């Protein structure tokens, strides 16, 4: 089992997922000149980043990433698309992403499972949980056929499933407290110390909630490979 991982910047790596899924991940770093593959491996993870999902001039590999996501959906290759990755999946499949009207969502924030998550292969059992947030763009219209799975107070579209095996989450299940602190430091947020402390305090809950989700994603890939 191999998972293609698209990493948009060094500061937004696999984090926890690197521990939970290792050694199955083949990381592609287009910001270092590595080419986006024409096809994914057995599974595909697309991580977050500072670019907006439509900023192709800033990150010229985004069109190829959207093409890869679209192909993976068409071929039912398991996908986990995170934050920017979720927004790229949304655009690739006909949804809409815009600058968020409710400002920056940042810190350890509550996300809530919707009824359809009850029997979802990844998110069943999550219920109400804490997740790391760091985004100001928002998914404002889901792709046709998408099944909403998670919501939140500041932005409603926090997670959905598309097709047989594609999942998009606006939050960051991969983000460790150390990764989050590097983001607040880079951006010079006024409340950085308080935000860092709340994410650190939530560390146990983050691992308890999102590690089983990552392991369930790996099992989806294994099942797909065996089929």
Q: Kindly report, residue by residue over 116-162, the tens digit of the pLDDT.
A: 999 999 999 999 999 999 999 999 999 999 999 999 999 999 999 99
pTM score: 0.97
pLDDT at 190: 83
pLDDT at 95: 98
% of the chain exceeding 70 in pLDDT: 100
Containing 67, the helix (H) or strand (E) segment is helix 62-74
Band (pLDDT 50/70/90 cuts) for residue 213 is very high
Residue whose tokens read 């998009």 = 168
Cβ-in-10-Å burial (0-12, 13-18, 19+) of 147 comes to middle
Give the C-alpha separation, 157 to 208, whole Å. 23
Rounded average pLDDT over 97-109: 97
Residue whose tokens read 């107070």 = 153
Residue 227 pLDDT > 80 = no
Give the model confidence (pLDDT) of 153-200 as tens digits. 999 999 999 999 999 999 999 999 999 999 999 888 889 999 999 999
pLDDT at 42: 97
pLDDT at 189: 82
Give the model confidence (pLDDT) of 34-43 as tens digits. 999 999 999 9
Give the model confidence (pLDDT) of 17-57 as tens digits. 999 997 789 999 999 999 999 999 999 999 999 999 999 99
Residue whose tokens read 């790229």 = 88
Question: What number does CATH give the domain 3-226?
Answer: 3.40.50.880
Q: What is the DSSP string of 1-59?
A: --EEEE-SSTTS--THHHHHHTTSEEEE-GGGTPPPPSS--SEEEE---SS-TT-TTTS
- Copy the structure tokens of residue 168: 């998009």
Tell me what the pLDDT averaged over the chain comes to.
96
Residue 152 near residue 158, CB atoms below 8 Å: yes
Q: How many CB atoms lie under 10 A from the CB of residue 204?
A: 9
């Amino acid at each position: 089992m191999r998972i293609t991982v698209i990493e948009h910047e060094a500061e937004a790596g696999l984090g926890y997922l690197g521990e939970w899924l290792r050694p199955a991940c083949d990381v592609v770093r287009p910001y270092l000149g590595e080419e986006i593959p024409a096809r994914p491996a057995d599974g595909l993870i697309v991580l977050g980043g500072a670019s907006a999902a439509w900023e192709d001039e800033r990150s010229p590999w985004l069109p190829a990433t959207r093409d890869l996501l679209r192909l993976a959906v068409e071929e039912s290759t398991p996908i986990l698309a995170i934050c920017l990755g979720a927004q790229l999946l949304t655009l690739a499949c006909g949804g809409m992403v815009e600058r968020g009207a409710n400002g920056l969502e940042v810190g350890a924030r509550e996300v809530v499972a919707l009824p359809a998550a009850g029997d979802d292969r990844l998110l069943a059992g999550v219920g109400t949980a804490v997740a790391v947030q760091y985004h100001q763009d928002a998914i404002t219209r889901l792709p046709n056929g998408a099944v909403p799975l998670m919501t939140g107070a500041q932005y409603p579209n926090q997670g959905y499933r598309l097709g047989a095996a594609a999942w998009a989450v606006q939050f960051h299940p991969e983000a460790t407290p150390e990764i989050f602190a590097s983001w607040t430091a880079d951006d010079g947020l006024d409340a950085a110390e308080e935000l860092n402390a709340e994410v650190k305090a939530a560390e146990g809950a983050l691992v308890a909630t999102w590690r089983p989700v990552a392991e369930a994603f790996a099992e989806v890939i294994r099942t797909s490979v065996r089929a």
